Amino acid sequence: MKMINQKMMLFFVSALALVVAVPNIYAVNEGNNMNRRTATPTDFTEAAESTINSVVSIKSFATPRQSYSPFDDPFFEFFFGPGSGQQRKQQESKPQQLGLGSGVIISEDGYIVTNNHVIQGAEKLEITLNGNKSYTATVIGNDESTDLALLKIDAEGLNAIEFGDSDELKVGEWVLAVGNPFGFTSTVTAGIVSAKARSIGSATHSRQMGIDAFIQTDAAVNPGNSGGALVNTKGELVGINTAIYSRTGDYAGYSFAIPTSIVKKVITDLRKYGAVQRAVLGISCSELTSDIADKNDITAITEGVFINKVEDRSAAKEAGLEANDVITEINGSKTRNLAELNEAMSRFYPGDKVSIKYYRNNKAYTTEVTLKNNQGNTTITKNSDFTALGCAFQKVSDKTKSRLGISGGVQVAGVKAGKFKEAGITDGFIILTINDIPVNSEADVEKVYNEIMRDNTPDKVMFITGLYQTGKRGYKVVPLTEEE
């Protein structure tokens, strides 16, 4: 994590339950005029009342990684009695609370949206409603690029939040942040929209996420607020609270939320396809600066996205865009910077036709572009799950290992219709590595599979190295996405 602005850093606002200390609580001196708040022109009570029952607490649990433990030492049982070491080890191996965050109910039948970093690494997710009723959640889908995740609990008649239009937000407009900071449930804080389409990456000189266009507010957000609601004064959801700038990890003046213009698209895709459908132009670009403008004699405009390179076989190339062009609008939405370009593009699907306004040699032009996906086509892709491989895996016998001169691997069994059969893998084939990672059990295969599916690269593929029963080496390629 890079240091910025006098050691200010970006923090995601989920709380690590095992390391967050209970802070000292100080009373505000009401006699100090600096701490007094003038009467606000807006009544927030209706917005707060309509929102708190739609925001939930999310606790994540995971089993600690096993390492050497003193309970393994036979002297432990000598001093504390037979079986005591095993008993302590069993206690240690139980899932422990990993973190704390918030989520927003988006449907009466139990769908909940939150941040991906709130649920990442969790083996169990416990959802607690505002009325203290708890449920275990299932992850429907998650997307690391936008830091969003969609969960489901088995419940009916829940208080679903109403979506608002983040595009209609204005800088200076009042908003409320609702969540569970430090474990304090149903907490509401107020602030104003400080900026829109804010790029965190440009401030930190890093790319924290694939889509970098946030609502910036000064509503107080702290650890535990991650995944909670940012609402307008009507109580409508306009964003999902995600990150803060801070020296300490606690609120220091500004917080950042993913706008609903992005949230709606992502959760719709996760629910329908299991993966976010991303449309791309196929360009490398940067924001138009005075240096770039001077170097390229650009005088007609001062803002926009400067094209450095157009990729071969891309949507941009087919539409006639060239290096040194400056994109200023997509479908009527201004693209004054990379954040606005990312936000505009996040709404589209492969195959969508959009109008692009751009400048070339200081003259304005408009062209129509048919967007493509990362694979260079216009099809919709769906992520498969582990069962789509269509086979079982079993341990390789010691006799077979000795005969083939190998020390590890996992054997394929019971091949039926699925990804492996399509790739020409048959019963008895021994997998040694997947994407250069050694595998020795079904759990190893599933772990590699899940890592591939979580990766943001466009090609989700297993590159398998293995052996046939004859000892002949085999190399297989297994695509994991499905086209509609």
Which member of 60, 117, 246, 269 is catalytic?
Answer: 117
DSSP state of 41: S
Residue 226 designated active-site: yes
Residue 147 designated active-site: yes
pLDDT value of position 336: 94
DSSP string for residues in 175-196: EEEEE-GGG-SSEEEEEEEEEE
Q: Measure the CA–CA gap between 193 and 181, rounded to whole angstroms.
A: 20
* Alpha carbon separation from 269 to 166, 208, 382, 459 (Å, rounded): 19, 21, 9, 18
pLDDT value of position 121: 85
pLDDT value of position 182: 87
Distance of CA 119 to the CA centre of its chain: 10
Q: How do residues 4-49 score in pLDDT, each as one tens digit?
A: 344 445 666 665 433 333 334 333 333 444 343 444 456 899 999 9
Angle formed at CA 275 by CA 205 and CA 104, multiple of 5 degrees? 75
pLDDT value of position 92: 54
Residue 117 designated active-site: yes
Which member of 60, 102, 143, 147 is catalytic?
Answer: 147
pLDDT value of position 16: 45
Which member of 199, 226, 246, 346 is catalytic?
Answer: 226
pLDDT value of position 70: 54
Q: Which residue positions in the chain have pLDDT lower than 50?
A: 1-8, 16-40, 68, 71, 202-209
pLDDT value of position 22: 35
pLDDT value of position 457: 66
DSSP, collapsed to helix, strand or coil, labels residue 329 as: strand
